[in-house]
Amino acid sequence: MSSLINEISKRRTFAIISHPDAGKTTLTEKLLLFGGAILTAGAVKSNKIKKTATSDFMEIERQRGISVATSVMSFEYKDTLINILDTPGHKDFAEDTYRTLTAVDSVILVIDCAKGVEAQTERLMEVCRMRNTPVIVFVNKMDREGKDPFDLIDELEKTLSITTRPLTWPISGGDSFKGVYNIYEKSLNVFNASKTTIETKIVAVESLEDPALDTQVTPRYAKQLREDIELIESVFEPFDINTYLSGEVAPVFFGSAVNNFGIQEMLDTFIKIAPTPRSRFSDTREVKPEENKFTGFVFKIHANLDPRHRDRIAFLRICSGKFERNKFYYHVRNGKEVRFSNPVTFLAQSKSVIDEAFPGDVIGLYDTGNFKIGDTLTEGEKFMYRGIPSFSPEIFKELVNTDPMKTKQLEKGIMQLTDEGVAQLFIQQPGNRKIIGTVGELQFEVIQYRLQHEYTASCRFAPMGYYKALWLTCDDKKILADFCRKKANYIALDKDENPVYLAESIWNLKVTMGDYPEITFHETSEFKMDIA
Ligand code: G4P
Beta bridge mates, 72: 85
- Ligand 1 atom nearest to 50, measured from its CA: 4
- pLDDT at residue 292 is higher than 90: yes
- pLDDT at residue 62 is higher than 80: no
Q: What is the mean pLDDT of residues 56-61?
A: 53
Write the CA distances from 137 to 16, 28, 70, 353, integer angstroms.
10, 14, 22, 34
Q: What is the mean pLDDT of residues 182-189?
A: 86
Cβ–ligand 1 distance for 89 under 6 Å, the answer yes
Q: Which of 335, 328, 347, 447 has the alpha carbon at shortest distance from 399? A: 447
Backbone angles phi, psi at 264, to 5 degrees: -60, -40
- pLDDT at residue 303 is higher than 80: no
Separation CA 300–CA 367 (nearest Å): 12
- Ligand 1 atom nearest to 46, measured from its CA: 8
Question: Quick one: pLDDT band at residue 510, thresholds 50, 70, 90?
Answer: very high
Cβ–ligand 1 distance for 258 under 6 Å, the answer yes
Strands (E), 304-338: 312-320, 323-324, 329-331, 336-338
Question: Quick one: pLDDT band at residue 200, thresholds 50, 70, 90?
Answer: low
Q: What is the mean pLDDT of residues 417-429?
A: 90
- pLDDT at residue 99 is higher than 90: no
Query: What per-residue confidence (pLDDT) applies to 37?
Result: 63
Percent share of the chain, pLDDT over 70: 87
- pLDDT at residue 197 is higher than 60: no
Residues 6+ apart with CB under 8 A from 431: none
Q: Which of 138, 206, 193, 196 has the alpha carbon at shortest distance from 167? A: 138
Backbone angles phi, psi at 431, to 5 degrees: 90, 5
- Ligand 1 atom nearest to 27, measured from its CA: 7
Residue nearest atom 24 in ligand 1 by C-alpha distance: 141
- pLDDT at residue 41 is higher than 70: no
Q: What is the mean pLDDT of the chain?
A: 86
- pLDDT at residue 40 is higher than 70: no
HSE value, Cβ hemisphere, 13 Å, CA-based, for 73:
28
- Ligand 1 atom nearest to 20, measured from its CA: 4
Cβ–ligand 1 distance for 90 under 6 Å, the answer no
Query: What per-residue confidence (pLDDT) applies to 53?
Result: 36
278: left (phi over 0), alpha (psi -120 to 50) or beta: beta
> Could you tell me the domains of the chain?
2-273 (3.40.50.300), 280-378 (3.40.50.300), 395-531 (3.30.70.3280)
- pLDDT at residue 165 is higher than 70: yes
- pTM assigned to the model: 0.85
Q: What is the mean pLDDT of residues 388-400?
A: 88
Neighbours of 236 (CB within 10 A): 16
Neighbours of 313 (CB within 10 A): 20
Beta bridge mates, 116: 112
442-455 helix and 407-419 helix, angle to the nearest 10 degrees: 130
Beta bridge mates, 14: 84, 106
- pLDDT at residue 420 is higher than 80: yes
How far apart are the CA of 115 and the centre of ligand 1, in A?
A: 13
Query: What per-residue confidence (pLDDT) applies to 506?
Result: 92
Spell out a b/e string for 416-455, using b for 16 or more CB atoms within 10 Å of the CB, else e.
bbbbbbbbbbbebeeeeebbbbbbbebbbbbbbebbbebb
Neighbours of 207 (CB within 10 A): 8
- Ligand 1 atom nearest to 89, measured from its CA: 4
Pocket test for ligand 1, best of 18, 40, 46 (most atoms within 8 A of CB): 46
Q: What is the mean pLDDT of residues 2-14?
A: 94
Residue nearest atom 34 in ligand 1 by C-alpha distance: 46
Q: How many residues does the chain have?
A: 532
Q: Which amino acid is at 410?
A: L
How far apart are the CA of 114 and the centre of ligand 1, in A?
A: 13
Cβ–ligand 1 distance for 115 under 6 Å, the answer no
What is the dihedral angle through the alpha carbons of 262, 263, 265, 268, rounded to the nearest 10 degrees? 180
Q: Which of 191-195, 271-275, 370-374, 482-486 has the lowest mean pLDDT?
A: 191-195
Cβ–ligand 1 distance for 114 under 6 Å, the answer no
Percent share of the chain, pLDDT over 90: 56
* 365 compared with 186, residue with greater pLDDT: 365
Query: What per-residue confidence (pLDDT) applies to 122?
Result: 85
- pLDDT at residue 112 is higher than 70: yes
